[in-house]
Amino acid sequence: MLLVAPLLLLLAPPAGAAGTLCLPSPTSACIAGTLRTEAGVLAGVDITITDPAGAEQTVTTDESGKWNIQVKDEGEYAVKIDESTLPKDLVTEGTVTVQAKFGATKPALIDIRTSSYDASESKLDELIQSSVNGLRLGLLLALASVGLSLIYGTTGLSNFAHAEQVGLGGILGYAFINLQGMNIWLGGLVVIAICAFTGWLQDRIMWQPLRRRGLGLTQLMIVTIGLSLAMQYCFQYFVGARTVRVDQANPSVRTIGPVTITNQSLVAMAIAAIVLAAVGFALLRTRVGRATRAVSDNPALAAASGIDVDKVIRLVWTVAMGLAGLSGLMYALVTNGIKWDSGLQILLLLFAAVTLGGLGTAFGALVGSLVIGLVVELSPVLGMPGDFKYATALLILILLLLVRPQGLLGRAERVG
């Protein structure tokens, strides 16, 4: 019963700007969102929603930055912020389109940023701020990509369901910390433990039996794709289409020179760095770590040397899923939140990071994640449209692989 209550509560859509509750029905749809910056939520901001026929409605964000509206027609709606109601140092880019569908609440994710000036100092400040944001994103991606790389290194399996474990961490964090009111540190430990247990359970009841039956890597990969889809639709059943965020009131903000960052982000970055350092130390200096590297290099030779390969692989699955859960928890805490299908976008970044760094190398995944995080956040500053920032990261990956196919830290292999 402890797990059922938070999951049922997740079905409720967010409160409206005037204290109303938008409930979609078979003949109506809802559009909702939350306006937030690094400095906190934005209350009293007017938002104009234009329906497919051209009729306009206006809503205002409440004290928590939330807004919602009920519409009676399906189709594409244009959502735009009235910039005159924003604080003077904030601007928004254009209009966001949302595809309304009966019986569902669709999120409108509106990009709000600090206005830039022509002065060179302002551009430099923006570059430094984006670099810090990229480092934060890279560290969060590294927590998940290291586990993905270890799984590939020890089993040869490309796990397409790995990003859904990141989503699971964020959604469980929302359930335990927001809905159940659990202390964020205790709730975080519970989330990591549950995610790690799912990794142990997956290998115990599914991956080990499938390996022993001799299934090929292609067949196993297809199983991971099916598992990914199943998890996505389970998330959609419990949280709907909206974005959820592990939110502990308005975060306090710290300004360090040109960089403005929340204390939550600083703590998350410190935790990620400490955990990644601990994983690196364990791989290099502990007996279990050496056994893991031996299995990654040559499973047959490791087994002949007396290493229990199945136990090592199960430990890798457990640790990898725990790291992914921690990544998802902090991703939902310090970024714009996470929703039921965020795994698809995160998965592309994770595979890009693992491939860029070198397949099967944990330290390569770390380096690749930092590079991808910086490229994603710096692309808009360097002139790329905001919608192309993820495509830019994948383009960098392609160009690098044309020059160095094994990745940054991967080992070249003879072909033929």
Q: Are residues 76 and 131 in the same domain?
A: no
Q: How far apart are CA 393 and CA 370, in angstroms?
A: 11
- CATH number, residue 108: 2.60.40.10
Lowest mean pLDDT among 53-62, 233-242, 248-257, 352-361: 248-257
Give the end of a domain, one of 83, 114, 145.
114
Q: What is the pLDDT of residue 389?
A: 73
Q: Does 18 reside within a domain?
A: no
Q: How far apart are CA 231 and CA 32, in angstroms?
A: 24
Radius of gyration of the chain (CA): 22
Q: Are residues 206 and 171 in the same domain?
A: yes
Give the end of a domain, one of 114, 139, 160.
114
- Taking the CA atoms of residue 187, residue 190, residue 192 and residue 197 in that order, the dihedral angle to the nearest 10 degrees is -160
How many domains are there within the chain?
2
Q: What angle do CA 378, 277, 336 make, to 5 degrees?
A: 40
Cα atoms in the Cβ-side hemisphere of radius 13 Å centred on 173? 31
Q: Does 410 reside within a domain?
A: no
Q: What is the pLDDT of residue 20?
A: 64
Q: Are residues 83 and 179 in the same domain?
A: no
Mean pLDDT value across the chain: 84
Q: Does 6 reside within a domain?
A: no
pLDDT in tens, 125-156: 888 888 999 999 999 999 999 999 999 999 99
Q: Are residues 183 and 41 in the same domain?
A: no
Q: Are residues 78 and 49 in the same domain?
A: yes
Q: Are residues 138 and 220 in the same domain?
A: yes
Whether pLDDT at 3 is above 50: no
Whether pLDDT at 210 is above 70: yes
Q: Are residues 157 and 51 in the same domain?
A: no
Q: Does 269 reside within a domain?
A: yes
Q: Are residues 154 and 34 in the same domain?
A: no
Q: Does 366 reside within a domain?
A: yes
Q: Are residues 253 and 144 in the same domain?
A: yes
pLDDT in tens, 262-299: 888 899 999 999 999 999 999 999 999 999 999 988 88
Q: Does 19 reside within a domain?
A: no
Q: What is the pLDDT of residue 291?
A: 93
Q: What is the pLDDT of residue 2?
A: 36
Is residue 110 within 8 A of residue 95, CB to CB? The reply is: no
This prediction's pTM = 0.72
Whether pLDDT at 12 is above 70: no
Q: What is the pLDDT of residue 93?
A: 64
Whether pLDDT at 361 is above 90: no
pLDDT in tens, 67-95: 888 898 888 888 988 887 887 767 776 67
Q: Does 263 reside within a domain?
A: yes
Is residue 338 within 8 A of residue 243, CB to CB? The reply is: yes
Q: Does 24 reside within a domain?
A: no
Whether pLDDT at 116 is above 90: no
Residue 55's domain spans which residues? Answer: 29-114
- For the chain, give the percent of residues with pLDDT over 70: 88
Give the end of a domain, one of 58, 92, 114.
114
Q: Are residues 106 and 132 in the same domain?
A: no
Closest alpha carbon to 360 in 149, 155, 217: 149
Q: What is the pLDDT of residue 14?
A: 40
- CATH number, residue 297: 1.10.3470
Confidence of residue 166 (pLDDT cuts 50, 70, 90): very high
Q: Are residues 242 and 298 in the same domain?
A: yes
What would the 3-class secondary structure string for 127-165 be?
A: HHHHHHHHHHHHHHHHHHHHHHHHHHHHHCCCCCCHHHH
Whether pLDDT at 123 is above 80: no
Which has more confidence, 36 or 149? 149
Q: Are residues 207 and 321 in the same domain?
A: yes
Helix (H) / strand (E) element for 77: namely strand 75-81
